[in-house]
Amino acid sequence: SARVSPRRRLIDNKQIQTMSRRERHRDDDDRRDRRRSRSRSRSRDREEPPPPSSAAPAGLPVGMGSTITPPTAAAYGGMMMPGAQAGAMPGMVPVMMMPNPLMVATAAQDKVNRELFVGNTPPGTSEALLTQFLNGAMRRTKLCAADAMPIIQCRTNQKFAFVECASIADANLALNLNGIPFMGSSLRVSRPSKYAGPHVPSKTWQELTGQTLPVGLTPVPENTSPAEDKVNRELFIGNTTPEMTESMLTDFLGKAMEQVGLATHPGNPITACRVSGKFAFIELRSKEETANALNLNNIPYLGAQLRVGRPSKYVGAQTPHGNWEDILAKYMSGELKLPSQGGAPAAAPAPAANTGVPTRVVELKNMLTMDELTSDQDYEEIMEDTKEECSQFGSLKNLVIPRDGPGATKIFLEYMSTDDAAAAIKGLAGRTFDGRKVEAIFYDETKFANKEY
């Protein structure tokens, strides 16, 4: 090979180094250009909107006539407005479906129309047993289909219960169970006090089946309209004097009926009394005892002879009856016999308990225990059932059942009038709950308003 001079070798090395530097600079320039290109591309991606999924028709702005995919939760960092539906556009106010007040009220009234009150249930009656018994009775008497379950729910509480029927028609038919014997009691099946629908005629269990009431059971009143029922149980008392008070008339006439056997079962048969000047009205607990009380006509009291008769608005059949002289003569001769005691005179009624100064507030004792107030669910049910039961005596304004403090286990009822409160005391005093005798007295309205229980 040709010999290369040292000078030539030096020149060649310098050229090679120069070329290498140029190539490196060129490579650096290329890398910078590529980085700038990528940066500009990303910037355009951020600034420009995405193209539509399909081309818009000619003459329309971009987006019109094309399919637009609504943003999802992911498009907003996984967050959606409360109440917003999937696919809703951002910024749009979500439309919330509010309940229709008319529909809510209709549903509540429908439930009331499907409910029935069942009284005189023995203590400890289970809901399942009562439901099964009543359903079986309706199937046996063909008040429903052989495989039907007309009664779908039951709530028991002490000596009464509430049942809910599958339909209003089932509830109307179940009224015919009124008076059915159950575990030594005659069940009172009727509408609840808050029922405001039309009166539906019905029979008693004895009328429906032709069976007689077992010996020892107390008959229950028939299911009549509230207005008709009250007129049939009211009597007019004439020739009263100013000194005769409601309590005096109630006590005197009630004792007279018990003494000579005009009361069909123990206790004062008079449940309410209203005095107005020279006359009064009394209300009795049954139509049968009301008819019997007509025999008190001309009974002497405080120097006056009381006139006892039907009120002017009574339009029912006239009931044959005698006067007090006739009844007293029959009683003294032994012709008049007590229904349950074979002619023996009735025991003298115990003196009426001192219920205090009449007010609109009633205090009940011995109805509850602390164990019954522990559970929130049990407490709510007790409140509901107590309100249902005590509203039948009058317009109940307020109900308070303290869960602690000195008033715990007591029940306080505030009525719209003292007459309503007095009716509640007469209806509740002396009842027994789980072997405890209920005490009912008037309570000071000022203490009640200050929550001094």
pLDDT digits (tens, 9 = 90+) for 254-301: 999 998 889 888 889 999 999 988 899 999 988 889 999 999 998 999
Q: Which two tokens stand for residue 168?
A: 């209003």
Evaluate whether 283 touches 233 at the Cβ level (below 8 Å): yes
The amino acid at residue 260 is V
Q: Which two tokens stand for residue 287?
A: 């139509």
Q: Which two tokens stand for residue 193?
A: 């006090």
The amino acid at residue 102 is L
Strand, helix or coil at 117?
strand
Torsional sign, CA 210, 211, 216, 220 = negative
Residue 294 is predicted with a pLDDT of 93
- Sequential DSSP letters for 350-371: PPPP---S--SEEEEESS--GG
pLDDT tens, residue by residue, 173-216: 999 999 999 999 999 999 988 888 888 989 999 999 999 988 88
Q: Give me the phi and psi of 342, to 5 degrees please.
A: 60, 35
The Cα 440–Cα 424 span in angstroms is 8
Helices (H), 141-212: 168-174, 205-209
pLDDT tens, residue by residue, 223-266: 876 666 778 899 999 999 999 999 999 999 999 999 888 988 88
Q: pTM of the full predicted structure?
A: 0.39
Residue 278 is predicted with a pLDDT of 84
Which of the four pLDDT bands, split at 50, 70 and 90, describes residue 48?
low
The Cα 236–Cα 254 span in angstroms is 15
**Inter-CA distances, 306 with 51, 123, 252, 301, 318, Å:** 102, 42, 12, 7, 20
Burial class of residue 445, CB neighbours in 10 A (0-12, 13-18, 19+): middle
Give the relative orientation of helices 324-333 and 246-260 as an angle to the nearest 10 degrees.
Answer: 40
Helices (H), 48-160: 101-113, 127-140
